[in-house]
Amino acid sequence: MAVEDQVRDLLHELTPYPPLGLDGAAVARSARRRHRRRIALVTLPAVVVVVALVLGGTAFLGRSDRPRPEPPAGLGTGWYRIADLPLSPRKLPLVVWTGEEALVVGGVSEKSASLEDGAAYDPAGDSWRTIAPAPEHLSAADFATAFVGHTLVVGTHDGLLAYDVDPDAWRRLPDPPHRVTWPTIAAADGHVYLLDDHDVTDEQTPVQVLDLASGTWSTLPLGPDVAAHGIRTLVWTPAGLVVMGDGLDSASGALWDGTRWVSFPDTDLRGSLWHWTGERVVSGWVASRRSATRSAALDPAAGAWSALPWLPVDSPSTLWSGGRMPADGPLVFSDSTVYDDADGSFTPVHPPEPFLTAPGLLLAGRTLFTFGGYLPDPGHQYDRVDQGTTTTHAWAYDVP
């Protein structure tokens, strides 16, 4: 029997997937290359095993156990299907919670085309409605968002966009006096606060303030040089506007109390993608013990730092958002785990479908949603082989 036939029979026995056509000469060349790399390929059975390893993705050198089947989608994970996206299949859409609906906008198609269309999902009725397309491509990378009343403001590399839920229309907002390339924004009392999340020059950029009603800009006085060589996040709190910094070695922060800037004490803790829980500012990225430093929380009224618990190191890591860490109230979704700042607990969240990656993610109350995403073809690990398809599937998970 030829090598090609033996390999095909072995793959058919080990996997449920269709047989693959092989070039016998290519198999031999592959064996010689592995021999030059000092891999022991001295007999025909060894060649067959290695070819099965590379092409079938189910056998390992020195192991004879059969592949472990993936769990059925959703079953045993706590997820339940909701109505599919009424849009074309996509990954990495921008997802924002209005308080009543999830807005799903843009993303990337299977052929890597940029998308602008969108839809709104109503969890109460498990129903969708299409909304006006955005004037430019938006995705999960555009995580600088804030609500002013019923108006969503999105910070992009080219300026600010606004989406008015009623009358379902997008518009461009006036350009700020100082250009911002990597925006972070916050909003309160009809005003949008804008800052470049890191200065690419030595010149410090002030916090710029847009009065949404009049369309006029102003600037706050220059304050402490927060995270001059790191990444900054604007967070609105009852104590005032807070600029949080993720420096190279530690977190930092300053408060604008309406009249002046007040710097917070130094800390050895770190953090990024900061979020207001209703009680304190917490890092949206929660460190595991693999990190040298714990993630931070800040009480802006008291000016006091505290450490977050370590993220469990055995958390699943395939449900990836491609950017922002969804958060709502005391809950933060970080590294496929929901952290509850109310009691310091963690809930590991396995993906609703095997190896689902890059969906649009949203936390609303105590429900985690996924919209779309990328599903690898059977037999291909998501992080090794770029063979798969985008999806319109939508799922919901009620956090215990």
CA distances in angstroms from 89 to 25, 108, 247, listed in the order given: 39, 9, 38
Confidence at 379, pLDDT banded by 50, 70, 90:
low
- Range from 36-40, 303-307, 336-340, 386-390 carrying the lowest mean pLDDT: 36-40
CATH 2.120.10.80 positions along the chain are: 79-398
Confidence at 375, pLDDT banded by 50, 70, 90:
confident
The helix/strand/coil state of 27 is helix
Confidence at 68, pLDDT banded by 50, 70, 90:
very low
- Range from 5-9, 155-159, 170-174, 274-278 carrying the lowest mean pLDDT: 5-9
> In this structure, which CATH number among 2.120.10.80, 1.10.220.110, 3.40.50.300, 3.90.1720.10 belongs to the domain 79-398?
2.120.10.80
The residue ranges of DSSP E strands in 109-250, in sequence order, are: 114-122, 127-131, 144-148, 151-156, 159-164, 169-172, 183-188, 191-196, 208-211, 216-219, 231-237, 240-246
Higher pLDDT, 60 or 57: 57
CB atoms within 10 A of CB 185: 22
Q: Indicate if the pLDDT at residue 55 is higher than 70.
A: no
Q: Which two three-digit tokens encode residue 100?
A: 């009543």
- What is the reported pLDDT for 76? 62
- What is the reported pLDDT for 320? 60
Angstrom distance (rounded) from CA 47 to CA 7? 9
Q: Which two three-digit tokens encode residue 185?
A: 């924004």
User: With the C-alpha atoms ordered 260, 261, 263, 264, is the resulting torsion angle positive or negative?
Assistant: positive
- Residue with tokens 């998970």, as numbered in its chain: 397
Q: Indicate if the pLDDT at residue 198 is higher than 70.
A: yes
Confidence at 112, pLDDT banded by 50, 70, 90:
confident
User: Once rounded to an integer, what is the mean pLDDT over residues 49-59?
Assistant: 37
Confidence at 387, pLDDT banded by 50, 70, 90:
confident
Q: Indicate if the pLDDT at residue 156 is higher than 50.
A: yes
Angstrom distance (rounded) from CA 99 to CA 364? 8
- What is the reported pLDDT for 71? 54
Distance of CA 153 to the CA centre of its chain: 19
Over pLDDT 90: what percentage of the chain? 53
Angstrom distance (rounded) from CA 245 to CA 254? 9
Nearest alpha carbon to residue 118 among 140, 98, 149, 95: 95
Angstrom distance (rounded) from CA 114 to CA 156? 15
What is the DSSP annotation of 309-328?
PPBPTT-------SS---EE
User: Once rounded to an integer, what is the mean pLDDT over residues 105-115?
Assistant: 93
- Range from 59-68, 128-137, 241-250 carrying the lowest mean pLDDT: 59-68
Q: Indicate if the pLDDT at residue 6 is higher than 50.
A: no
> CB of 87 within 8 A of CB of 371?
no
Task: Select the highest-mean-pLDDT range: 12-26, 77-91, 130-144, 202-216.
Answer: 77-91
Higher pLDDT, 24 or 182: 182
- pLDDT single digits (tens) 358-371: 899 999 999 999 99
User: Once rounded to an integer, what is the mean pLDDT over residues 191-215?
Assistant: 85
> CB of 333 within 8 A of CB of 317?
no
The rounded mean pLDDT for the chain is 79
Confidence at 75, pLDDT banded by 50, 70, 90:
low
Q: Which residues pair with 328 in a beta bridge?
A: 331
- What is the reported pLDDT for 203? 62
User: With the C-alpha atoms ordered 123, 125, 126, 132, is the resulting torsion angle positive or negative?
Assistant: negative
- What is the reported pLDDT for 200? 55
pTM: 0.78
User: Once rounded to an integer, what is the mean pLDDT over residues 16-26?
Assistant: 35
Higher pLDDT, 230 or 234: 234
Q: Indicate if the pLDDT at residue 20 is higher than 80.
A: no
> Within a 13 Å sphere around the CA of 214, how many CA atoms are in the beta-carbon half?
7
- What is the reported pLDDT for 199? 66
What is the DSSP annotation of 33-54?
HHHHTT----SHHHHHHHHHHH
- What is the reported pLDDT for 226? 66
- Range from 4-13, 69-78, 152-161 carrying the lowest mean pLDDT: 4-13
- Range from 195-199, 247-251, 325-329 carrying the lowest mean pLDDT: 247-251
- Range from 151-155, 200-204, 324-328 carrying the lowest mean pLDDT: 200-204
